[in-house]
């Protein structure tokens, strides 16, 4: 997970752990600390809006698009699973 970088896919603004996001239930939180799940009501947000702050763009993007490096991590995990299956098949 150390190769994951979180930033807005449109303007590259980086979250700093502050509670910039607010759910329809009124809960304010850092959406990246929970994978876009509201800790108040449990709603999972598919899209995340970049805050209207200096450096932010106030645009919506898919939440997963904020996580740069996920594709590489998933491919590495798939390779490991394939290797394990191959080892088991050869026994």
Summarised one tens digit per residue, pLDDT across range 62-84 is: 999 999 887 777 778 788 888 88
> From CA 62, how far away is CA 91, in angstroms rounded?
43
Pull the structure tokens for residue 10. Answer: 């449109």
- β-sheet bridge partners, residue 7: none
> From CA 62, how far away is CA 46, in angstroms rounded?
6
| Domain boundaries, given as residue ranges, for the chain | 5-89
pLDDT band at residue 86, thresholds of 50, 70 and 90?
A: confident
Mean pLDDT of the chain: 91
Residue bearing tokens 């329809």: 24
Strands of 14-89 (E only): list them: 21-22, 28-29, 47-49, 60-62, 67-68
Pull the structure tokens for residue 3. Answer: 């190769």
Q: Looking at residue 2, what is its pLDDT?
A: 64
> From CA 87, how far away is CA 79, in angstroms rounded?
12
Quote the percentage of the chain above a pLDDT of 70: 97
Q: Looking at residue 77, what is its pLDDT?
A: 77
């Amino acid at each position: 997970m150390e190769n994951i970088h979180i930033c807005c896919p449109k303007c590259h603004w980086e979250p700093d752990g502050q509670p910039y996001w607010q759910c329809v239930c009124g809960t304010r939180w850092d959406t990246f600390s929970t994978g876009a799940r509201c800790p108040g009501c449990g709603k999972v947000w598919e899209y995340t809006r970049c805050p209207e702050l200096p450096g932010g763009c106030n645009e919506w993007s898919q939440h997963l698009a904020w996580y740069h490096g996920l594709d590489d991590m998933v491919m590495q995990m798939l390779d490991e699973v394939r290797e394990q299956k191959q080892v088991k098949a050869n026994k």
